[in-house]
Amino acid sequence: MRGFIKGITTGAIIGATAGMMMVPQMSRRTRKMLRRNSKMFMNRAGDVFENLRDYMM
C-alpha cells in the first residue's frame, strides 16, 4: 500500500514539473496558482496516507 501512495504522489509531482517545463511562458498568476495547488495536494496526500496507515494498524 505504501508503494502505491508513494507512486501516486511521485507521479503527481513529476506530472506537475513536466507541465511547467512544457509551458515556460506562463504568467506569474498561473505559476503561483500551480505552486499553491501542488502544496495543497501534497498536504492532502500526506493526510490520506496517515489516515490509511492508522486504519491498517
AA letter at 15: G
Cα–Cα distances (Å) from 2 to 9, 25, 41, in that order, read: 11, 36, 17
* pLDDT above 80 (res 23): no
Q: Where does the pLDDT of residue 24 fall: very low under 50, low under 70, confident under 90, or very high at 90 and above?
A: low
Domain ranges of the chain: 2-56
* pLDDT above 70 (res 38): yes
